[in-house]
Amino acid sequence: QSALTQPRSVSGSPGQSVTISCTGTSSDVGSYNYVSWYQQHPGKAPKVMIYDVSKRPSGVPDRFSGSKSGNTASLTISGLQAEDEADYYCCSYAGIYTLEVFGGGTKLTVL
Amino acid sequence: EVQLVQSGAEVKKPGESLKISCKGSGYTFTSYWIGWVRQMPGKGLEWMGIIYPGDSDTRYSPSFQGQVTISADKSISTAYLQWSSLKASDTAMYYCARKTGRVGFGGSMDVWGQGTTVTVSS
Give the model confidence (pLDDT) of A47-104 as tens digits. 999 999 999 999 999 999 999 999 999 999 999 999 999 999 999 999 988 899 999 9
With cut-offs at 50, 70 and 90, classify the pLDDT of residue B90. very high
Q: Do B47 and A100 touch (CB under 8 A)?
A: yes
Strands (E), B7-103: 10-12, 18-25, 33-39, 45-52, 57-60, 69-73, 78-83, 92-99
Half-sphere CA count of A73, side-chain side, radius 13 A: 33
The answer to whether residue A2 scores a pLDDT higher than 70 is no
| Residues in a beta bridge with B95 | B37
Q: Which of residues 49-88 of A touch B (CB under 8 A)?
A: 51-52, 57, 87
Evaluate whether A28 touches A95 at the Cβ level (below 8 Å).
Answer: yes
Determine the Cα–Cα distance for residues B64 and B32; give it in Å rounded to an integer: 21
At A11, the amino acid letter reads S
Q: What's the confidence (pLDDT) of residue B76?
A: 97
Q: Which of B45, B52, B116 to mutate against chain A (most A CBs within 10 Å)?
A: B45
The SS3 assignment for B31 reads helix
Q: Do B47 and A34 touch (CB under 8 A)?
A: no
Q: What's the confidence (pLDDT) of residue A49?
A: 98
Q: Do A40 and B45 touch (CB under 8 A)?
A: yes
The answer to whether residue B31 scores a pLDDT higher than 90 is yes
The answer to whether residue A1 scores a pLDDT higher than 60 is no
| Residues in a beta bridge with B4 | B24
Strand B10-12 and strand B116-120: pairing? parallel
